[in-house]
Amino acid sequence: MIRIFSMLVGAFFSLALLWSAGKGTVAYISEPPAKTVEAEFHQHPKALSLSSDGAFGKFDRQQLQRGFQVYSEVCATCHAIKQVSYGDLRELGYNEAEVKAIAAKAQVPEYNPATGEVKQHPGALKDHFPPVVYGGAGSPPDLSLIAKARHGGAAYIYSLLTGYADQAGYKNEKGEELLKKFPDAKTPDGLFFNPYFANLNIAMPQPLVSDGQVSYKDGTKASVDQMAQDVSAFLVWTAEPKLEKRHQTGWPVLGFLIFATVLAYMAYRTVWAEKKGH
C-alpha cells in the first residue's frame, strides 16, 4: 500500500513539473522577453594572441617594457598598480640602475606611526607603486590584478581600449542601428560609448586616441592597436608575475605524477597477479 502511494505521489509531482515546464515554454514562444540594449549590443572580447598564452607561454620582455611605457605615460595618471614593487620591474629586463632611476622619479608616501604624519620620499626598489590621488568622482580601479579580475583577461582589456565607437552609427551583428532600435539608449553626458563595456557606457575617456601617442624606445611603430596589445600584455604580467615559473614547475611535477601513476599500476599488477590466478 505504501509503495503504491509513493508511486502516485511521484507521478503527481512529475506531471506537475512537466505541466509547468510546458506552460513556461509556450509563454516564452508566444511572448518572448524583450531584449535589453545591453544584451543586444554588448560585444564579447576580440581575439588576442600573446606570447604568454598557453601552457608553454613565456613573456616577451620587449613587449612588457613597451606596455610599461604605455602604462606610465598614459594610464598612470588615473590608475595605480599598488601590488607591484619597483624592484619587480627587473623581471621586465631592466637592470638595477634603470629600475632605481624609474623609482626615484616617484614620491612614495610613508606613514610614521610615532607621529601619525605621512611624509613623501623618493621611491626605492622595496617600495610599491604609490596609490593615485584622483580628483574626479569615484575612484578608477587599481590595475594590478585587472587581467585576472575581468572575464576575458587581456583580450577584454585590449578590446576595451580599441573599442570606443560613435554611438550614432553603431550597429549590431544584424546590421540594426542602436539608436533606431533603442531611441532612448543615448549615452548620457560625461560617459562614453564602448560596446565591450558591460552596460555600453563607460566613464573613462578613450585613453589611446592616436598613433604615435607614445614614442617607443625600441623603435616599434606605436599604433593604437600596438599600444593596446602591449599594455594588455604588461597587465597580464602584473596579475601573474610568476607565470613562467609556474609553467616551469608545473611540467616536471606533471611528469612525476604520470611516472608515479604508471609505477603504482605496475606494482599493483605485480603484487596481485598471483592472487588473481587462484
- In Å, how far are 62, 87, 181 from 217, measured between CA atoms? 10, 21, 47
Q: Any known ligand binding at 78?
A: yes
Strands (DSSP E) along 190-272, which ranges?
192-193, 201-202
Q: Is 75 annotated as a binding residue?
A: yes
Task: Please indicate if the annotation marks 278 as binding a ligand.
Answer: no
Alpha-helix runs per DSSP H in 58-197: 61-70, 96-104, 146-149, 154-162, 178-181
Q: Tell me whether residue 7 is annotated as binding.
A: no
Dump the DSSP string for 145-159: THHHHSTTTHHHHHH
Give 60's contacts (C-beta < 8 A, 6+ positions apart).
50, 51, 52, 233
Q: Which residues contact 64 (CB under 8 A, 6 or more apart)?
A: 92, 93, 230, 233, 234, 237
Q: How far apart are the first and last CA of the chain?
A: 48
> CA dist 200 to 38, 124, 163, 212, Å?
7, 40, 10, 27
Are 61 and 123 within 8 A, CB to CB?
no
Strand-pair partners of 171: 177
Enter the C-alpha cell of residue 119. 611624509
Binding site members: 75, 78-79, 204
Binding site members for heme c: 75, 78-79, 204
